[in-house]
Each structure stands twice: as C-alpha cells, then as structure tokens.
Amino acid sequence: MPRNSLALIALLFASPAGAKGVEAFPRADELFAHPLAAPRQFQLGASGYELNGRARSDLSLGHSRGLLRGRAGDQLWLWQWDARALALSRWSRRDVEAADFVVELPVSLRRGDISFLAAPFHETSRRAGAGRRATASGLRTLAAVEPWPWLRAYGGASFLFDTAPSPKRWGLQAGLELISGDMRWTKSFPVRLYAAEDVQMPERTGFNPNARFAAGVKLGALRVQAGYYSGHSYYGRFQADREHFADLSVILEP
C-alpha cells in the first residue's frame, strides 16, 4: 500500500483510538451494514450462474472484525472502526478464472437513522494463468438514511489513490434496500424477506452503470437469494467485459 494511503489511514484513526469510553472488539458492521446487493460480500458465500453458455460459480471467503467503538459529539454520535478482508474467486468447473483480494479498514458513524462510512481499501486482481495482477488503493465513502425500519437508501463516491493499469480514479455508488420485520416462522431464529439493488458507476468504464438486483430471505445468519447482474464485470481481470446473468446465492453472515 502506498505511503499516502497509509498516511490517510493514520489520520482517520488517530482521534478515535485516543477517545475515552472506547469499547474494544465490538460486533462488526452494526453501525453501517454492508449493502445487501453489492457483488462483493464480506461473508462466506457461494453463487452459481450461467455466463456465455458455461456454468460459473463465485466463492466468497470474507470476514469483518470490529476493532474499536465509542461515542462523540456530546455522546450523540456512535463511531466504529472495523477491519475487513475478502477473497473472491470465479470458477468454471474446476478451473479458477479470476481471483480478487480486498482489504478494508472502514470507519463508520451513526446518529439515529443517519449513518456514514469511510473505508480506505486495497485490492489485488489475479490474472489466472498469466501470473500477472492489477492493483488499486483508494477510499470509498457512503452515506445512508433509514427513515423507517424497512427502508434504507445510500449513496456515495470512491477515489483511487493509485491504480494499474487504468489511470481513471473516480466512482459513484447508490442503492436501495427493503427488508421486512421479524416474521418468527420458527421459535429459534427470526426470518426476514428483503429486496435490494446496488448500482456502481466507475470512471474506468465511462461511468456506465453496473447494477445488481437481489431478493431473498434471511434465516438468522443465513441468507438465500436470487439476483441479476448487468454491467461491466466486478472482477479486475474482466473489468472491460460486459456481463449479464441471473444467479442463486447462499451467504453465511458472521
């Protein structure tokens, strides 16, 4: 990771780490939950789909860890610092076509139904069979509002500090999520239904939208969902390719 990225991370986290009343190792992703329809999920998951006439599958091995949590602004704002890591790979039968690795150190803020996220990140895209890789480091920011328990809307932008091979740095993101209350079909864990859409518009593809729709059911920590993706590939190796496919996913949240 370049020096300017490390300097920004130090600036973001210097003040929270020295605050009073700090809780160590809280539950991750509580103040700003990861978008439900985002293609890259920081959980354990698998999805299957057909692309260009061949069966493919995505395997996601990710984890989020809460590091610090505290209060600021006369105790009205909650802040939290998390760490995330993700390995996402695309398989065609037994062959790995691509593999992306992402590390994030997000800081989130929340007050009532308003929340914010600033996430420095570094990602590496492996090019299977060629021994080459593409890398990028940057900052992703999002703001979200939840006026009712069943609705969340979010939007923001990202900026790449350094990137190879493309010099284009900006990106936009927006999304909408609808989620039901606990249905309690069973006594052991809650059941919820949800529908969500995530739209990302990177400058490197001319700000053309990459959209993913997902609808499914949450059974405690387990999510089963059907989705549809349309846009440029979310794998670094194939980012110049346009892809359209419907998928079925199983995701285990931490």
Q: What is the pLDDT along the chain (254 residues), one digit of tens a residue?
A: 455 554 544 444 444 444 557 899 999 999 999 999 999 889 999 999 999 999 999 999 999 999 999 998 777 899 999 999 999 999 998 889 999 999 999 999 999 999 999 999 999 987 655 556 778 899 999 999 999 999 999 999 999 987 665 678 899 999 999 999 888 766 667 899 999 999 999 998 889 999 999 999 998 889 999 999 999 999 988 888 999 999 999 999 87
CATH number at residue 58: 2.40.230.10
Q: pTM, whole model, 2 decimals?
A: 0.86
Enclosing domain of residue 96 = 3-252
Residues 240 and 1: their CA atoms lie apart, in Å, by 24
The domain tally of the chain equals: 1
Contacts of residue 26, Cβ cutoff 8 Å, sequence gap at least 6: 66, 68, 69, 80
Q: What is the DSSP letter of 26?
A: P
